[in-house]
Structure 1
């Protein structure tokens, strides 16, 4: 296995209170989680496992890359021998599993890869974690793909609303629209644009995961939702107003391009989150604050990924870009 960030060879664990494995840690949400864990829990060793797919970037972790309680390991959760060796070598206590294929548009044309990574990869990781007798396994997903008896394995499942903020690869709607407008291109609206989505800022979802880490009960599923809801068309108009500094409806229309809809496109999917509210978590970051921070970040960091421009097309570019 290869390591970066911390460059010393892998060896016996040092004297940390806990050793946490975060999969997919160079991606969007997990990178925020890692930064928070490394900074707030100096007595925990945080191990970042990521294969560095097209949507990952180690630049997301530059602020903590030299910390003594952080280690990056490049590897694939679908490699069962590698994963088994990782658990044996690193003596993992807790797993936060973020690694997954997540982009809806790509799922239509790369269905096998999505199944392979999201189901088989999770199976490999759970098997190794079960054999290693980890204390807790937090599974960040929307499907119950791990199987097995909850009496034997301490899994906690989370399901979150659409998360936005810095570090997100610009294939998702908010960073895509922001980046298109910042490159003087039109927002591409799938279908009518009347589909609504609930948006949750990255630092809020990080706090939710940390709450589940500390208080979540094995066998439970926690929805991490927000009441803030907006249509895709309204989102485009708000971003046009903020980035292009116009409130004229006619001028706004000049920055919108309606394209074919997805093969399937849910109109809305709100969630009830009373269970995690009972653990003491609620979202804190207002939309106006979160979207301003996000716009500012993409203005300086769009090129954190190779070939990021290809993510700005209305639909995925084939063959898959790397």
Structure 2
């Protein structure tokens, strides 16, 4: 079968990556979609069961930090487009082992960029999927793409460092890069270390939702299909060398999120929902909110299509229908605390 475009997605078995890969495979039967993924703890092969036998889909298990493997892929597959999502994303773990985040998020990006630029086949686009956390937290000001990066945790710092690498390839070589910075993304198949599936899993186990500290933390939540639409739009209409925020106006305090999920799952009245929320010790510094502006992306024609009410209903139902998709809460990736979900995989 001859394909007229070959797309490499790194981290394509992760939460956002799997939704992107499925969308690409289903929308573009004439494209070859290659998924390069290490299959870390937060990835599941089950995320891609619906497409694993499709003729235009190829899975390669491997490490984006492995230059021999990455160079081989670029020198044999004639890659036209890269969506680089592979990353370590758990904020709590980034404080405990920052070197592993440096290796995957920064060195992995360096390896990928080098292989893509040196490949015989000319690359059309290199889309780097970053996060709103590179801006750092803000009490009131909403960040646009020109705002300075002031990351406040090791995870966000490595994403900002990787962005500088990506940007340097545009500045020095006019390599066709585009950067996206997303709000918190949620939806089916997200790992239980992230806040919404974590709360849902705790409630399924008849345990309380645990929230770090009592400060008024809130987050903007974007449904995963809207994020995927944004990535595909910048591929087709985005300008090379540019950065695009992928944000939503919907914002909810984390305590309110917990109470809302309690009411949906436990079917209790509002006055009793607070009894299912427990406050636990917080990190030394708590990032209260990450507001961003997305007018630049909207000028390309992007709009969110899934409301919070629709998206959270769909997400809750998926976790209720798939209780064994992820192991129960626990282990070494967050302990008893809720982790506010990050934007990338």
Asked if the contact 2:215–2:288 (Cα under 8 Å) also holds between the matched residues in 1, the reply is: no
Corresponding residue for 1:235? 257
1:79 aligns with 2:66: yes
Corresponding residue for 1:31? 18
Corresponding residue for 2:53? 66
After superposition, residues 137-176 of structure 1 pair within 5 angstroms as: 137-142=126-131, 143=160, 144-147=163-166, 148-150=168-170, 151-176=173-198
Structure 1 residues 65-95: Cα deviation after superposition (integer angstroms, max 9, x where no partner): 1110001000000111111111112111110
Corresponding residue for 2:125? 136
Cα distance, 1:309 vs structure 2: 4.4
Greater displacement, 220-229 / 295-304: 295-304
Cα distance, 1:33 vs structure 2: 0.6
1:195 aligns with 2:217: yes
Structure 1 residues 162-188: Cα deviation after superposition (integer angstroms, max 9, x where no partner): 000011101011111111111211100
Cα distance, 1:98 vs structure 2: 0.3
1:126 aligns with 2:113: yes
Instruction: Find the residue that maps to 1:262 and give its secondary structure.
Output: coil
TM-score (norm 2): 0.84
Q: What residue ranges of structure 1 are gaps of 5+ in the alignment?
A: 1-13, 317-322
1:277 aligns with 2:274: no
* In 2: Cα distance, 1:224 partner to 1:207 partner: 10
Q: 1:305 to 1:245 in 2, by over 3 A?
A: closer
Instruction: Find the residue that maps to 1:141 and give its secondary structure.
Output: strand
Asked if the contact 1:138–1:158 (Cα under 8 Å) also holds between the matched residues in 2, the reply is: yes
* In 1: Cα distance, 2:195 partner to 2:305 partner: 22
* In 2: Cα distance, 1:246 partner to 1:50 partner: 41
Cα distance, 1:307 vs structure 2: 6.3
Cα distance, 1:308 vs structure 2: 5.4
Cα distance, 1:193 vs structure 2: 5.2
Cα distance, 1:247 vs structure 2: 2.0
* In 1: Cα distance, 2:193 partner to 2:14 partner: 13
Q: Which of 1 and 2 has higher RCO (CA within 8 Å, sep 6+)?
A: 2
Cα distance, 1:313 vs structure 2: 3.1
Asked if the contact 2:8–2:36 (Cα under 8 Å) also holds between the matched residues in 1, the reply is: yes
Q: What residue ranges of structure 2 are gaps of 5+ in the alignment?
A: 132-159, 339-345
Cα distance, 1:30 vs structure 2: 0.8
TM-score (norm 1): 0.90
Instruction: Find the residue that maps to 1:168 and give its secondary structure.
Output: coil
Asked if the contact 2:198–2:329 (Cα under 8 Å) also holds between the matched residues in 1, the reply is: no
- Aligned positions, number: 302
Instruction: Find the residue that maps to 1:237 and give its secondary structure.
Output: helix
Instruction: Find the residue that maps to 1:64 and give its secondary structure.
Output: coil
Cα distance, 1:58 vs structure 2: 1.1
User: What RMSD in Å do the two structures reach over aligned CA positions?
Assistant: 1.5
Asked if the contact 1:54–1:305 (Cα under 8 Å) also holds between the matched residues in 2, the reply is: no
Q: 1:196 to 1:307 in 2, by over 3 A?
A: closer
Greater displacement, 188-197 / 97-106: 188-197
Corresponding residue for 1:303? 324
Corresponding residue for 2:90? 103
* In 1: Cα distance, 2:69 partner to 2:326 partner: 26
Q: 1:298 to 1:259 in 2, by over 3 A?
A: same
